Each structure stands twice: as structure tokens, then as C-alpha cells.
Amino acid sequence: MDSLFEYRNCPSCGQNDFEVLFESNMKSDDFNVLFDYNMEGHDSQEGMEGYLVPGKEWGRHVKCKHCHLIYMNPMEQVSKTNEYYFKAKNNHAPTIRESYLRTAKSQVSLIQKYTSGTNLLDIGCAQGFFLFSASKVGYTTKGIEISRDAVEYARGEFGLDVEAKPFEELRFAENHFDVVTLWQVLEHVPYPLMILKEVHRILKPGGLLVVSTPNIEGIPAKILSKRWWDIKRLHINQFTTRTLTDILQNTGFRNTSSASYRGFVSLSILLTMMLKYLGVYEQLKALFNPDYVLGKILNKIMLVYSSKLNHCVVLGFK
């Protein structure tokens, strides 16, 4: 059982002094099951649910007594979760495309407010919606992504330059990029400090870093508590604007501030997420079939929200 886990010191300040916020709700069997089947297929296959269905399975969450960061401790063994990421497949890419591209446009505008540099790296770029939007307005872009499926999409659909390797295995030149972005990435990585230090090294002096993560002090988190949809197996760090700012400052970033962008979500995506959360998606998923009229309509209706509702966005300069 123990070999399925890794213990770690606080991933922000390095201390090992915490209070337990809440225990894991998983049984020993749950930890084994998920890794041993073929994930190349359908996203609702048994086994993958624990990763994809929010508010369902989580590990023990602790809060550092020194810097107040909330993190999962122990976390599942890194090599095993990485295996999941390599194989993860998103069959919803065509459905999310429109809303993600619109969100990306707002993220690009945010960056343009803070810097005129155009050499941009996006770490954990997924299907490349953000990078594509950035490249359309003149950025020279580079992406890093470990899901093979997402890399294929980013290259095939958008012709993007994406490295299919973990960031830790790459070695970029010092003082190279004007902008580095980490959209919804730091909550997944076991050692965020190491990544931020490396980002600091490869940014040009004065270069901009933008980081966004779910906000455990946001309104949905406060209302739903442990059932908040961003409490899930793959989210092993939980930030607030304060703790996210702290970790950037600890890594040497200056002039940090919080910001926001406009997010877009189609009614189709929103309802899908809600029904999955409630555990009734399988019975009703035919409603969302984009080949039918209802599915088409639900896909067209676009809702807009501020990232502040559920996320922290913090930026800083080298």
C-alpha cells in the first residue's frame, strides 16, 4: 500500500509541519485499479472516472503551518500519475474548441497589457488553443505537453511547435523567453518550486510569467468544500492568490500582481460538467450529441465569466 504513495515536504516553503485539513476518501483498492487498463479508448470507461469526475475521489489534504499552502500529502506515486498523463485522451477537443479559443483570446490580451515581447513558451499547453491564439497575433510560440494525444492535436490542427516531453527533461537556453505561461498546471505538479526556478532561469531579464490555478478560497470552493469540483485526485496542490503569489516571490519573481481574464464556456460543456458531477451524465449524454439539433444549439450558446470566480491568476517579472 505504502509503495503507491510518496510523502513530500511543503512544495512551497520546504517545511514539514502541517495540520490535516481532511483525510482521503479512497480505499486501498481504488489506488490500484485506475492504472491497470487501456486508456486509449472512451473517456467514460470504468477506471478513469476517479481522475475525471470532480468531487468524487481525493487524497489527504494538509495545510502547511508556515506558508499556509494546501497540498495533498501523501500523493500518489509520481511515476504512476505521469503514466496517466502520457495516455490521457480528450475526446471532447472538438466540443471545447470554440470556447477554449475565445478564452485564449482573452488570456492573450492580458499578456499584451504587460509586455511587448513576443517569444512565448506555454508549459502544459494541452491541445494548443492558447498557443494558436497567441501565434495568430504575432507571437513566436513553443509548447510543452506530455499527453501524446493532446500533442498530436496541437500539431495536426494548428501546426504548432510542441515538445512531447516533461519540462524537467528539457533544457532551454538561459534568458531566452519573453513570456512563460502556466495555465492550470501548478496544481498538478509535485514540485512546483523546481519548475518556477527553471522558468526564472530561461526568462529574459524583465520577462513575464503568468500562472493560473483553481482558487481554494474562491466562492465555489467555499460553498462546496470537499465537494468542490477542483478537489480531485490529479490536483495535488491547492493555491490561493496569497500562496500563489508567495511561491512566485520565493522563486525570485518581482512586481507580482493578481489579474483576471474572461473565460467562455458553452452550455453544452457546462451541462456536461454538472451532470458528471451529479453522476447522471451517462444516462443523458445523448442530449449532447453534436450531430443532433439540441446538441448543436447547446454548443452555440456561450456563457462568459470572470476567471476570478474560480481561479487565481498571478503574474510576475524576472
- Interacting residues with Zn ion between 246 and 305 (CB under 5 A): none
Q: What are phi and psi of 177, to 5 degrees?
A: -100, 150
CB of 266 to Zn ion, least distance (A): 38
- State the angle between helix axes of 148-158 and 78-87 in degrees (0 to 180), rounded to the nearest 10: 30
150 binds Zn ion (CB under 5 A): no
Rounded to whole angstroms, the Cα distance separating 35 from 48 reads 8
Rounded to whole angstroms, the Cα distance separating 265 from 268 reads 8
- Interacting residues with Zn ion between 60 and 79 (CB under 5 A): 64, 66-67, 69
With respect to Zn ion, which residue has the nearer C-beta, 198 or 246? 246
Region from 58-66, 87-95, 105-113, 169-177 binding Zn ion, contact rule CB under 5 A? 58-66
Region from 59-67, 173-181, 213-221, 272-280 binding Zn ion, contact rule CB under 5 A? 59-67
Contact between 144 and 163 (Cβ < 8 Å): yes
With respect to Zn ion, which residue has the nearer C-beta, 73 or 266? 73
CB of 11 to Zn ion, least distance (A): 8
With respect to Zn ion, which residue has the nearer C-beta, 16 or 91? 16
With respect to Zn ion, which residue has the nearer C-beta, 9 or 119? 9
CB within 8 Å of 291: residues ≥ 6 apart: none
The secondary structure of residue 91, as a DSSP letter, is T
Rounded to whole angstroms, the Cα distance separating 63 from 60 reads 10
Site string for Zn ion, 2-31 (x = CB under 5 A): --------x-xx------------------
Question: Can you give 108-156 as a three-state secondary structure string?
Answer: HHHHHHHCCCCEEEEECCCCCHHHHHHHHCCCEEEEECCCHHHHHHHHH
CB of 5 to Zn ion, least distance (A): 20
With respect to Zn ion, which residue has the nearer C-beta, 15 or 91? 15
With respect to Zn ion, which residue has the nearer C-beta, 10 or 154? 10
Residue type, 26: M
CB of 153 to Zn ion, least distance (A): 37
Rounded to whole angstroms, the Cα distance separating 58 from 25 reads 6
How many residues in the shown chain lie near Zn ion by CB under 5 A? 7
CB of 48 to Zn ion, least distance (A): 32
With respect to Zn ion, which residue has the nearer C-beta, 62 or 88? 62
CB of 251 to Zn ion, least distance (A): 14
- Interacting residues with Zn ion between 69 and 128 (CB under 5 A): 69
Instruction: Provide the CA 185 distance to its chain's centre, in angstroms.
Output: 4
Q: Distance from first CA to last CA of the chain, Å, rounded?
A: 42
CB of 243 to Zn ion, least distance (A): 8
Q: Please give the sequence-ordered ranges of beta strands (E in DSSP) within the chain, or none if there are none.
A: 5-6, 18-22, 61-64, 70-72, 75-76, 119-123, 140-144, 162-163, 177-183, 203-214, 237-238, 254-259, 262-266, 302-306, 311-317
With respect to Zn ion, which residue has the nearer C-beta, 241 or 310? 241
CB of 6 to Zn ion, least distance (A): 17
* Residues engaged in binding Zn ion (CB under 5 A): 10, 12-13, 64, 66-67, 69
